[in-house]
Amino acid sequence: MPGGPPASGGGRQAAPRLHPALDVRTSGGHPGGLPWLDAIAAAVDGHRPTALDEPAPDHVRAFFETASDRDRALTTVVSVYGERVQARAIRVSDESWAARSQADLPAVRVGRIIVAPPWSTIPDPDPADVVVTIRPALGFGSGHHPTTRLALQGLQASDLGGRHVLDLGTGSGILAIAAVKLGARRATGVDRDPDALDSAREGVDANGVAAEVELRRRDIADLEPASAPVVVANLTGAALIRLAPVAAALVEPGGSVILSGILAGEEAAVAAVYRQHGRMAWREQEDEWVAMTFRVPARG
């Protein structure tokens, strides 16, 4: 989903797209001590959210593929939190997101990776730095959320040289693009959301990696087993648990799966499921978020 709508034929500018969203304003701290962004993310997880945004600490927006998904999420949030939140169904345009993005989202460094929007300047980059240019687009992975940063750390902690990387739920394509720039031979980004794939294509073109990154509109459950030696999945804890047999089967024997999007309270459950398929090789935490890598045994 591009930050600004593309031009249509005849030189006319396409009308901004409106995206179904749930606007949640909170009062007081979360009863469990979680940041409200994490709490709302967990509450709406079963309703296919495509992105989350936090305009302020007491203000969360969750975006959805369809208005019906959004409306079901609204019912869930109200039933769980009642008077602690004021929640309403809205639509948000590409243009309003793009304007806030340019004002609020500078370049971000994650190890040797610098994730930068097109308008950002990078003073004195090191020759070893890897620059990934991403136009923020309704939350499809701009490097500003801990889960994306943790996934980028997981890629840097893995042996990618000359290998194929499969990115599940690719969003902006940031992880697939970064994998190639870190030395992967090629990467495949998979997403079921056509808007996410539009955003990813823009990122792939902007970074000059169209020959190395393939984008596919597919459901994760429909992918062929043993698809790649490195699989990365920045989803949610609940989704990672649900998809564990599928995600593990996508890894070639002897390969690894990098998991991000896990709340600290979900870590034990996620780890228990993936330990059935391999051993933990790496773990990192930022704030309330955790990422892990599991290595799948080689044949024989």
Q: Which of 152, 186, 197, 189 is CA-nearest to residue 168?
A: 189
Residue 212 lies in a domain: yes
Residues 159 and 79 in one domain: no
Structure confidence at residue 12 (pLDDT)? 41
Alpha-carbon distances, residue 80 vs 38, 60, 71, 136, 262 (angstroms)? 14, 15, 14, 31, 21
Domain hosting 46: range is: 9-100
Tens-level pLDDT at each residue, the chain (300 residues): 222 222 233 334 445 677 889 999 998 888 877 788 888 988 888 887 877 778 788 899 888 878 999 999 999 999 999 999 999 999 887 665 555 555 566 788 999 999 988 877 776 778 889 999 987 665 455 666 788 999 999 999 999 999 999 999 998 899 999 999 999 999 999 998 887 888 899 999 999 999 999 999 998 888 989 889 999 999 888 889 999 999 999 999 999 999 999 988 899 999 999 999 999 999 999 988 899 999 999 986
Residues 94 and 145 in one domain: no
Domain count, the chain: 2
Structure confidence at residue 93 (pLDDT)? 77
Residues 260 and 138 in one domain: yes
Residues 67 and 183 in one domain: no
Alpha-carbon distances, residue 89 vs 24, 39, 98, 243 (angstroms)? 9, 18, 20, 29
How many Cα neighbours within 13 Å face the side chain of 49?
Answer: 30
Residue bearing tokens 């169904």: 89
Residues 259 and 174 in one domain: yes
Residue 4 lies in a domain: no
Residue 300 lies in a domain: no
